[in-house]
């Protein structure tokens, strides 16, 4: 049967069509031996290999063979059952990965926004359990500063003078600090700070407007608002807490083939997409 290019399998009543080369990714596996009539558990019926196993879990097996990556849904929970299926098919590199559930399970990510409004200035502090998410937000948020006269500081349009971008304060990898509004300097001059949050192109000076845009940005990015509380009534500090399920880093199997060998597999992490 090794000459077959296209192979059809019926697993638990579900039909799968694939290439023989896909099933031969791991030459010592039972799926590879099946093509040579070398395993009695796989019966050839009307040109299809019949397998009395779970068809839904086999779809993950096929995805793994096609991509050499372990990528499971966020709500997936059948790690032990899928591990048993991988062992049944002789895919031991996959079974070894599935035994390490902590590498594959999604993690709960927490993010907190603290907001303080003091006269004509607003102060923001963002803390996140995932440093990658905080880094992504730091790339999205830009603070611009410029001087204006007292008569025009609350204008909805920035001063005609060029605005200078300011670096955000980063007390640690897990938080960032910025502010907006105006600060009195001398005479009728004010230092104005505007905030822009990508992909929105507006430059906002009003703290309440910036807060609204920031919260909307987080909600669109998959976060869920779980609580709002007042941290300090004297300093008028409000705290907004968010959470979301963060997908784990992808795990990729690297197969090193050498002449006369049956293949050596090694697992490695693929890069995590920022903010995911």
pLDDT at 86 over 90: yes
Mean pLDDT across the stretch 127-138?
A: 93
pLDDT in tens, 48-64: 999 999 999 999 999 99
Which domains are seen in the chain, by residue range? 6-105 (3.30.710.10), 110-150+157-244 (no CATH)
Residue with tokens 């590879």: 32
Provide the percentage of residues in the chain whose pLDDT is more than 70.
Answer: 79
Mean pLDDT across the stretch 238-247?
A: 88
pLDDT on residue 152: 52
pLDDT at 267 over 70: no
pLDDT at 38 over 80: no
Residue that wins the pLDDT comparison between 152 and 271: 152
pLDDT on residue 97: 84
pLDDT on residue 183: 81
Q: How far apart are CA 204 and CA 196, in angstroms?
A: 6
Mean pLDDT across the stretch 191-200?
A: 93
CB-neighbour burial class of residue 152 (10 A; exposed 0-12, middle 13-18, buried 19+): middle
pLDDT on residue 103: 67
Mean pLDDT across the stretch 228-234?
A: 83
Least confident of 98-112, 144-158, 174-188, 215-229: 144-158
pLDDT on residue 259: 36
pLDDT on residue 266: 47
Residue that wins the pLDDT comparison between 101 and 207: 207
pLDDT on residue 247: 66
């Amino acid at each position: 049967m090794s000459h077959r290019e296209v192979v059809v399998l019926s697993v638990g009543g579900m039909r799968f069509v694939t290439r023989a080369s896909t099933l031969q990714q791991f030459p010592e596996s039972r799926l590879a031996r099946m093509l040579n009539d070398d395993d009695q558990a796989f019966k050839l019926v009307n040109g299809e290999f019949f397998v009395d196993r779970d068809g839904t879990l086999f779809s993950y097996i096929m995805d793994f063979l096609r991509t050499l990556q372990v990528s499971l849904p966020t709500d997936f929970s059948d790690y032990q059952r899928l591990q048993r299926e991988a062992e049944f098919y002789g895919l031991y590199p996959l079974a070894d990965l599935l035994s390490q559930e902590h590498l594959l399970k999604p993690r709960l990510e927490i993010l907190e926004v603290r907001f303080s409004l003091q006269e004509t200035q607003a102060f923001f502090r963002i803390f996140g359990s995932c440093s990658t998410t905080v880094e992504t937000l730091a790339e999205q948020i830009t603070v611009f500063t410029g001087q204006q006269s007292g008569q025009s500081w609350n204008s909805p349009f920035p001063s005609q003078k060029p605005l200078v971008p300011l670096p955000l304060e980063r007390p640690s990898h897990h938080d960032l600090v910025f502010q907006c509004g105006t600060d009195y300097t001398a005479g009728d001059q004010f230092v104005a700070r505007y905030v822009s949050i990508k992909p929105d192109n507006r430059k906002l000076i009003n703290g309440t407007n910036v807060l609204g845009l920031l919260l909307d940005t987080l909600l669109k990015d998959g976060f869920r608002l779980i609580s709002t509380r007042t941290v300090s009534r004297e300093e008028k500090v409000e705290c907004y807490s968010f959470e979301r399920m963060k997908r784990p880093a992808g795990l990729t199997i690297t197969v090193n083939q050498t002449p006369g060998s049956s293949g050596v597999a090694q697992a490695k992490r693929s890069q995590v997409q920022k903010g995911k």
